């Protein structure tokens, strides 16, 4: 699910095409807005896409239902919020419990929550004067940026950073690496969620669990 330029979507597509995400396929792309470049990326890769926008529905329940219907139609197993800037509805959240992940451009719990999206976390990080920021991939729950954390990666802030230069470095060094990595771990069945805590199972541990 996307809302903008789709560089995180592109990172996933690149890893799939180079064989580094075996067994994974982007079956559909849902955008919250029309005309965004992420939709063009989907088109170039022959991936079905659509726009499902909250404002086109009278109630949140109808919006929720439309998203769920689309996800079911495409037999989606993992929902990836790759720069998606809306909150999901109750039905999608409960049907896909521990199967929706989000990438956020800061080290949660810093610079996150309602209103912190896109370039804003980077502006706030520079205003605060932190030396280190980064990105976080987490499971999605009912609030903004608040579910169990899967992976985080730190990125150094430089003296002469602007919000734009920091955003670019966080994407290159952290986001485009972490999001595909989290998808790989999910696909390999190696993420075990207990309350707020995510355990990353070793490959051999997972084999033993599978064998019972």
Residue 143: how many other CB atoms lie within 10 Å: 11
Asked if 8 interacts with ligand GAR (CB under 6 A), we say yes
R_g (Cα) of the chain, nearest Å: 17
By CB under 6 A, residue 5 contacts ligand GAR: yes
- Residue 126 makes CB contacts below 8 A (sequence gap 6+) with 157, 161, 162, 163, 166
- Cβ(185)–Cβ(138) below 8 Å: no
Ramachandran sector of residue 75 (left: φ over 0; alpha: ψ -120 to 50; beta: rest): left
Site for ligand GAR, residues 121 to 140, rule: CB under 6 A = none
Does the footprint of ligand GAR cover residue 104 (CB under 6 A)?
yes
How many Å separate Cα 28 from the centre of its chain?
Answer: 14
Cα 53 versus chain centre, distance: 18
- 175 counts as binding ligand GAR under rule CB under 6 A: yes
Interface region with ligand GAR, contact rule CB under 6 A, candidates 1-9, 19-27, 154-162, 186-194: 1-9
Assess whether the previous peptide bond of 207 is cis (omega < 30° from 0): no
Shortest distance, position 76 Cβ to ligand GAR, whole Å: 19
Q: Which of 82, 101, 140, 185 binds ligand GAR (CB under 6 A)?
A: 82
Draw the binding track, 12-51, toward ligand GAR (x: CB under 6 A; -: no contact).
Answer: --------------------------x-------------
Interaction between residue 180 and ligand GAR (CB under 6 A): no
Instruction: Report if residue 1 touches ligand GAR, rule: CB under 6 A.
Output: no
Positions that interact with ligand GAR (CB under 6 A)? 2, 4-8, 38, 82-83, 85, 103-105, 117-118, 145, 171, 175
């Amino acid at each position: 699910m996307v809302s903008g330029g789709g560089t995180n979507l592109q990172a996933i597509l690149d890893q799939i095409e180079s064989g580094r995400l075996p067994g994974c396929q982007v079956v559909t792309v849902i955008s919250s807005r029309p005309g965004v470049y992420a939709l063009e990326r989907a088109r170039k890769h022959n991936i079905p896409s659509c726009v499902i926008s909250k404002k086109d529905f009278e109630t949140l329940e109808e919006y929720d239902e439309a998203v769920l219907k689309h996800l079911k139609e495409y037999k989606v197993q993992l929902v990836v919020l790759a720069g998606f800037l809306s909150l999901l509805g109750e039905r999608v959240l409960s049907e896909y419990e521990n199967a929706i992940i989000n990438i956020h451009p800061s080290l949660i719990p810093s610079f996150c929550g309602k209103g912190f999206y896109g370039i804003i976390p980077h502006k706030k990080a520079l205003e605060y004067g932190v030396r280190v920021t980064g990105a976080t991939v987490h499971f999605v729950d009912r609030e903004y940026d608040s579910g169990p954390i899967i992976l985080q990666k730190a990125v150094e802030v430089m003296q002469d950073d602007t919000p734009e230069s920091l955003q670019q470095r966080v994407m290159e060094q952290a986001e485009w690496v972490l999001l595909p990595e989290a998808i790989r771990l999910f696909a390999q069945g190696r993420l075990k969620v207990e309350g707020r805590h995510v355990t990353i199972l070793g490959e051999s541990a997972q084999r033993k669990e599978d064998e019972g």
